[in-house]
Structure 1
Amino acid sequence: MLPEPDPRTVAALASDLSAAGFASAAVRGAWGDDADDAVVRGLHGPALRALAGRADPLAVLARLFVLGVAQPAADVAAALPAAGVEGIVALGLAETAGDGIRPLALVRPQSLSDPAGEVDWWIASDLDEAAVGGALPEDHVLGVGGASRTLAGIQVPTPAAAGLDVGTGCGIQALRARRHVSRVVATDVSAAALRFTRLNALLNGIDGIQTREGSMFDPAADETFDRIVSNPPFVITPRVADVPAYEYRDGGMVGDALVEAFVTGVGAHLAPGGIAQLLGNWETRDGVDGLERVRAWVERSPIPLDAWVVEREILDPVAYAELWIRDGGTLPTAPGFGRLMDAWLDDFSSRDVTAIGFGYVLLRRPPSGDAPTLARYESVWQSLGDEAIGAHLAGALEAHDRVVALDDAGLAASVLRFAPDVTEARHQLPGAEDPTVIELRQGGGFARVVSVDPALAGLVGACDGDLPAGVLIDAIAQLLEVDAAALRVDLLPRVRELLFTGFLRFAD
């Protein structure tokens, strides 16, 4: 386990990393895009080939801290003039091995962009399986992976006073939350994870993060928070003695019970108007769709909650088991793979599980004890930039709150404009006078594509921030020679949906 990080030594290391230009873009540039893609897949050979023969600080630090490869002591000393070899040894990040320095942890640059701007952090974590050269230990502290980048990107970037990061791991979500939240409590069952969190906060000069050891909401006691975020250990794992129980991904419960416990328990720790966001898995079980099971969890919450649940992927039991067996470093050709696969499939069969969904959950405690007004459970399969949609989610919530406060007369009196990322596509048969399909396409957000009829297409196109929606609908009714009142009844509910999904915006 890491020793408690010494602030002065950490500051010296940060100075050295900065002086070496040890940043995401610089490292990627040093070995190229193809090698960088290979590193993401756990293949370090191409990156090492690209850096061969280089002994400059950037190359030395990239090999040592990104790839986890031992380096000559003299080269490391030259790359770290302030912290020195003794500094990273004292921090528990490396050890001496003859004339070389062997890494004991990774320190990888991680870039992040949100409405507040761009940052480049250094994130320390345990050695990955490529550096270890085999299966990971069960107490492994994970670095920044695809799931954690997704959650960091979907955090709503609106100001808040108090935040809670449940299952913080290396601390990336706490650091991300701190950009918009004044004070963050980061919790984990792993003392090692909390030390990495404290190290990473110091390394990046981020204050206002308090760490507490414990499971789920236990460390929060009776406190409430304006923001709660969690990338919990949601991986569904057989409760069998010889199946590895990795702390970073396995919460020790059966099936998807951990996500269920989070959803049903988080409301008590949300302040009025507070928002909770998490990643999770849910089972389609006994013929009940996974999203419907999540809906039932929300409805069982003792604290009424608004809910927006987005399913991004569904895997069958075999594919799910293979994914997480490989994640632990056991390949299909390795001894024991078949045994692990059988354990997973037996576990799923015992609950009649036919599919496993993955996605994200946004829950909100209505302000002032108001009744929930949002219950949205949807599947979004198209590829999109998960790492930059937090602002879209915040905008959707703001639009929802404004829309539900308006009756149809109020909505008709509202002045709207179409969003700048919206385009229209029309498809028609050769020689046909009218299109057979009209689509509105969204460039940002969830990259939605919506089929519309000529009336709605005409309304969206006319929403330029000038005239109220009702006036435009009346004009379209006259043009199409249909009843204006009937057209309002038809269009206004769809306008509400387009406002929530971001195709339309209020002009004021």
Structure 2
Amino acid sequence: MTPHPDPALCAALADDLAAARFRSEALRAAWGVEADDATGRGLRVPALRGLGERRDALATLGRLLVLGVAQPRDAVDAALPTLGAAGLEALGLAEAGDAVTPRAIIRPQSYLDTEGTGEWWLASDLDEIATGGGALAEDHVLGVGGASLTLAGLQLPTPAGRVLDLGTGCGIQALRARRYAESVVATDVSERALAFTRLNALLNRDARIETRGGSLFDPVAGETFDRIVTNPPFVITPRATGVPGYEYRDGGLVGDALVEQVVRGVGAHLAPGGIAQLLGNWETRDGVDGLDRVRGWVAASAVPLEAWVVERELLDPIQYAEMWIRDGGTVPGSPRHDELLAAWLDDFAARGVTAIGFGYVLLRRAAGAPRLQRYERMTQPIPSEGGLGAHLAQALAAHDRLAGMDDDALAASVLRAAADVTEARHHLPGIGDPQVIELRQGAGFGRAIQADPGLAALVGACDGDLAVGALIAAIADLLEADGRALRAELLSRVRQLLVDGFLVFE
């Protein structure tokens, strides 16, 4: 059943959901904290037990729209007094007889950004909780998952004119982009996905999201955007008979070719200075490191691109195949699981793939020669996994400011240590001087760096009072070091600390 996003019916549904207090915290309180945590693991029995015999609107809608359990028609009519069960059916979200059977889920999704907190209602196809497990349909429209939340948190919280959400799915990236953008164009090859996106835009009272059907950049040929965000169908799937190709995750190409096409082609659709952000997989193939292959894609762009690529995870072929076979609803140990695993491993072996990386890609259309070219692996826990956008924006601003500053200008600048930076000193027993001095971020990417006494002293002295040059001169006197050499060394380190967020301009 495909949604039919009628504006009047969506407005009525939104009014009824608001009246029922159909929000995350209310549902969590209704069925209990432990049961709520269990729903995140795909379990609905604890939540149903927590609701017990409650028949109020929140309980009825929680069972129907979150947990996927059919409800009596009279209870649904009472819970949705404006829309009614008939209206829910007209929207394509349920079948209404004596009982109302859900054909989609609607879940509250909280967000936090620089503008404050809020919550969306997001509709999508029935998931594992609602169906009780089993293989998904190939045209399944995914709701909000870990990857989509990661990308939503990565989006830059800075003003933008036109934004393109490429491969919109249920529309969460489009809604997130609209928090800072004047308008959003959301595209997808799946008409079901576009229907859900239109419904979710209406449900959240946002009329400035335009949907277009088509593959990759076809729907926006000849157009440019200030920002492009995409969680593309990057999952590497064998092109073999009997292996399902889920539209929400599989782009139909061999290996990581779809991510390559996006990286190579996105620059032509960015306005000067425009930024694209995406998630992706890339293969280490025939001895060529995955990050080096991404570097080659960026270099092959017809439009000069600056790049910041962060690899967060590196899996071997077996781990990768197991993860995505399970994601499709096929359980380990079954004959079907073994067939799919063999197909995945045959595909990787035939193409010489030894590892698969996952990570974040930020690309910017360069005005001149690209200055930012950063490729790095980060396997440490990231404290701001759900909200790195502000950190990325600050890092880009610091990079651009530093690009126009020589060492004299930097030395004249007044800096302060970021509020989240802490210092740890490690001593051997009985020795007064530390063997290791470590500076660590409590926010951003959670980086940790080793510092010598001069750098540690400088970061500690940056309190927004004296200029960097004056501080370095004082530290050189204190350490009885060569002032000129120390100045050159520390200013070079300061540049990196400003981009990484350990230091900020006053």
TM-score using structure 2 length: 0.98
One-letter code aligned to 1:456: L
Structure 2 partner of 1:199: 199
Q: CA deviation at 1:129?
A: 2.8
Structure 2 partner of 1:381: 379
Structure 2 partner of 1:18: 18
Task: Report the 3-state secondary structure (helix = DSSP H, G, I; strand = E; otherwise coil) of the residue aligned with 2:32.
Answer: helix
One-letter code aligned to 2:505: F
Task: Report the 3-state secondary structure (helix = DSSP H, G, I; strand = E; otherwise coil) of the residue aligned with 2:330.
Answer: coil
Structure 1 partner of 2:452: 453
Task: Report the 3-state secondary structure (helix = DSSP H, G, I; strand = E; otherwise coil) of the residue aligned with 1:247.
Answer: coil
Q: CA deviation at 1:334?
A: 2.7
Q: CA deviation at 1:75?
A: 1.2
Structure 2 partner of 1:57: 57
Q: What is the rounded CA distance, in whole Å, between the counterparts of 1:21 and 1:172 in structure 2?
A: 21
Q: CA deviation at 1:32?
A: 2.5
Q: What is the rounded CA distance, in whole Å, between the counterparts of 2:142 and 2:386 in structure 1?
A: 19
Q: Say what the alpha-carbon RMSD is for the aligned residues.
A: 1.0
Q: Does residue 319 of structure 1 match 2:291?
A: no
Task: Report the 3-state secondary structure (helix = DSSP H, G, I; strand = E; otherwise coil) of the residue aligned with 1:336.
Answer: helix
Q: CA deviation at 1:321?
A: 0.3
Q: What is the rounded CA distance, in whole Å, between the counterparts of 2:391 and 2:149 in structure 1?
A: 16
Q: CA deviation at 1:31?
A: 2.1
Task: Report the 3-state secondary structure (helix = DSSP H, G, I; strand = E; otherwise coil) of the residue aligned with 2:266.
Answer: helix
Q: What is the rounded CA distance, in whole Å, between the counterparts of 1:331 and 1:378 in structure 2?
A: 34
Q: What is the rounded CA distance, in whole Å, between the counterparts of 2:375 and 2:491 in structure 1?
A: 21
What are the ranges of 5 or more consecutive residues in structure 2 without an aligned counterpart? none
Q: What is the rounded CA distance, in whole Å, between the counterparts of 2:342 and 2:37 in structure 1?
A: 32
Structure 2 partner of 1:401: 400
Structure 1 partner of 2:86: 86
Q: What is the rounded CA distance, in whole Å, between the counterparts of 1:54 and 1:435 in structure 2?
A: 62
Alpha-carbon contact 2:4-2:92 (below 8 Å) kept: no
Structure 2 partner of 1:240: 240
* Residues paired across the two proteins, number: 504
Task: Report the 3-state secondary structure (helix = DSSP H, G, I; strand = E; otherwise coil) of the residue aligned with 1:186.
Answer: strand
- Per-residue CA deviations over 1:118-159 (Å, capped at 9, x if unaligned) read 111100000013323411000000000010000000100100
Structure 2 partner of 1:255: 255
Alpha-carbon contact 2:105-2:126 (below 8 Å) kept: yes
Structure 1 partner of 2:99: 100
Q: What is the rounded CA distance, in whole Å, between the counterparts of 1:77 and 1:472 in structure 2?
A: 70
Q: CA deviation at 1:407?
A: 1.3
Task: Report the 3-state secondary structure (helix = DSSP H, G, I; strand = E; otherwise coil) of the residue aligned with 1:388.
Answer: coil
Q: What is the rounded CA distance, in whole Å, between the counterparts of 2:409 and 2:241 in structure 1?
A: 61
Q: CA deviation at 1:160?
A: 0.7
- Per-residue CA deviations over 1:389-429 (Å, capped at 9, x if unaligned) read 10000000000001121111111111111111111111112
Structure 1 partner of 2:502: 503
- Per-residue CA deviations over 1:295-334 (Å, capped at 9, x if unaligned) read 1111111111110001111111111001000000000133
Greater Cα offset, 381-390 or 15-24: 381-390
Structure 2 partner of 1:341: 341
- Per-residue CA deviations over 1:20-43 (Å, capped at 9, x if unaligned) read 110111112222332222212211
Q: What is the rounded CA distance, in whole Å, between the counterparts of 1:37 and 1:470 in structure 2?
A: 52
Structure 2 partner of 1:115: 114
- Per-residue CA deviations over 1:152-210 (Å, capped at 9, x if unaligned) read 00100100100000000000000100110101100000011001000000000012110
What are the ranges of 5 or more consecutive residues in structure 1 without an aligned counterpart? none
Structure 2 partner of 1:143: 143
One-letter code aligned to 2:421: V
One-letter code aligned to 1:75: A
Percent of pairs with identical residues: 68
Structure 2 partner of 1:124: 123
Q: What is the rounded CA distance, in whole Å, between the counterparts of 2:376 and 2:35 in structure 1?
A: 36
Q: What is the rounded CA distance, in whole Å, between the counterparts of 1:413 and 1:33 in structure 2?
A: 53
Task: Report the 3-state secondary structure (helix = DSSP H, G, I; strand = E; otherwise coil) of the residue aligned with 2:92.
Answer: coil
Q: CA deviation at 1:3?
A: 4.4
Structure 1 partner of 2:425: 426
Structure 1 partner of 2:357: 357
Greater Cα offset, 272-281 or 25-34: 25-34
Q: What is the rounded CA distance, in whole Å, between the counterparts of 1:87 and 1:54 in structure 2?
A: 23
Structure 2 partner of 1:42: 42
One-letter code aligned to 2:425: R
Alpha-carbon contact 2:415-2:468 (below 8 Å) kept: yes
Q: What is the rounded CA distance, in whole Å, between the counterparts of 1:400 and 1:194 in structure 2?
A: 37
Q: What is the rounded CA distance, in whole Å, between the counterparts of 1:457 and 1:270 in structure 2?
A: 41
Structure 2 partner of 1:76: 76
Q: What is the rounded CA distance, in whole Å, between the counterparts of 2:4 and 2:54 in structure 1?
A: 33
1:370 to 368, 371, 374: 368
Structure 2 partner of 1:275: 275
Q: CA deviation at 1:284?
A: 0.9
Q: CA deviation at 1:16?
A: 0.6
Q: What is the rounded CA distance, in whole Å, between the counterparts of 2:280 and 2:27 in structure 1?
A: 31
TM-score using structure 1 length: 0.98
One-letter code aligned to 1:301: S
